[in-house]
Amino acid sequence: MRHFLAETDFSAAEVADLFALARRLKRERGHHERPLAGQTWAMIFSKSSTRTRVSFEVGIHELGGNPLFLSKNDIQIGRGESIADTARVLSRFVHGLVVRTYAHSDVTELAERGSIPVVNALTDYLHPCQIYTDAFTAAERWAGPDGDLFASLKGRKVAFLGDTCFNMANSWILGAHVFGMSVSLGGPAGFEPTAEIRDAAAKLGAQFHYTADPREAVAGADLVYTDVWASMGQEGESAERAQRMMPYQVSEELFAAAKPDALFMHCLPAHAGEEVTQAVLDHPRSVIFDEAENRLHVQKAILATLAGLRS
Ligand code: CP
Ligand code: NVA
């Protein structure tokens, strides 16, 4: 059974094919194949979502399937039914699961105990649908309309600023390895990449650079990226994090320290005036809304690939 729980679940060659498929599905929106025809995919969400929920619901529908949204309070998992039993029961009804939750072990357990494909729609550890979309969005710019999307990523540098010990930073560490990119993380002492991601990177042979100096992180970067300082579940730490992470705010000045043609990205939602200024969000080289739109096309390619469709 094929799942998509981490950036490394597809090989480089498969990601190259997946990006080509995403570009085709984007161009042929409204008249492409419907590989999920007759299928129902359940979406179990334990955290809030705008982009992920809407893009998956629309995407499953456009691939011919039926999305079934289940907040954790709608199902017995919210009252303590085990992950293992939930996985086995849902496997009797639906054809796949899209899951947004806290512990990454919950998505791996759903995948292990069920008998249907599971897609990670964000955990505290990783957000792989977002990172594939980010790489695709950058590649659209770097490869142009007819160029090789995946090949255009090779050797490019991404700088990630702010909270360097949570899901988006972790996903860039794994994603950059798959895409052939380099990654430099700039964040405050005490928020360095965790032992868990360091171990995972070491096992893969994935290189990354961490520095407490934001200018060092962005020097030579092709892509500057940030995320909220207090993620979902960390709201109680907002004030302390804001104070520690302010030197890593992506301002016009810090953005200008990257390459002159660097792109700016943010997974959104953004807190303007905190991790990024409004001027950078609105900058001509900010591609945040292309990035949001592409969640639809790339996730459709992920689902279609799991269903056996190729570019
Ligand atoms: N970027 C992202 O995953 O957004 P949502 O939390 O709105 O889904
Ligand atoms: N790091 C953020 C990402 C939201 C898309 C969070 O987990 O809340």
Could you report the average pLDDT of every consecutive run of 10 residues in the chain (311 residues)? 97 98 98 98 97 98 98 92 96 98 98 98 98 99 97 98 98 98 98 98 98 98 99 97 98 98 98 98 98 98 95 88
Residue 54's domain comprises 7-126+292-306
| pLDDT given at position 41 | 98
Residue type, 241: R
What is the rounded distance in angstroms from the CA atom of residue 245 to the CA atom of residue 219?
19
Residue 96 lies in a domain: yes
In this structure, the answer to whether residues 44 and 177 fall within a common structural domain is: no
- Total count of domains within the chain: 2
Tell me what pLDDT residue 121 has.
98
100 in contact with ligand 1, CB cutoff 6 A:
no
Residue 184: inside a domain: yes
Q: What are phi and psi of 183, to 5 degrees?
A: -130, 135
77 in the same domain as 109:
yes
- What DSSP element (H or E) covers 45? strand 40-45
Q: Long-range contacts made by residues 147-154, C-beta under 8 angstroms, separation at least 24?
A: 148/16, 149/16, 149/19, 149/20, 149/23, 150/12, 150/15, 150/16, 150/19, 150/20, 150/179, 151/16, 153/179, 153/180, 153/181, 154/179, 154/180, 154/181
CA torsion through residues 92, 97, 102, 105, sign: positive
Q: Which residue has the tokens 């060092």?
A: 216
**DSSP category for residue 10:** S
Active site residues: 100, 127, 130, 227, 267, 295
Is 196 inside a domain boundary? Answer: yes
Residues 25 and 174 grouped into a single domain = no
Burial of 189-211, coded b for 16+ CB within 10 Å and e otherwise, reads eebbbeeebbebbeeeebebebb
Q: Can you give the pLDDT at residue 3?
A: 98
**Which residue of 232, 237, 238 sits with most ligand 2 atoms within 8 Å of its CB, as the best mutation to test the pocket?**
232
Q: Is the same domain home to 121 and 28?
A: yes
pLDDT of residue 44: 97
Could you tell me the sign of the dihedral formed by the alpha carbons of 261, 267, 268, 272, in that order? negative
Residue nearest to atom 3 of ligand 2 (CA): 231
87 plus 236 within the same structural domain? no
Pocket of ligand 2 (CB under 6 A): 122, 166-168, 227-228, 231-232, 267
Q: Judge if 145 and 76 occupy the same domain.
A: no
Tell me: do 156 and 235 sit in the same domain: yes
Specify the pLDDT at position 279: 98
pTM: 0.98
> Which of 99, 131, 133, 167, when mutated, tests ligand 2's pocket best, judged by the most ligand atoms within 8 Å of its CB?
167
The answer on 148 and 287 residing in a single domain is yes
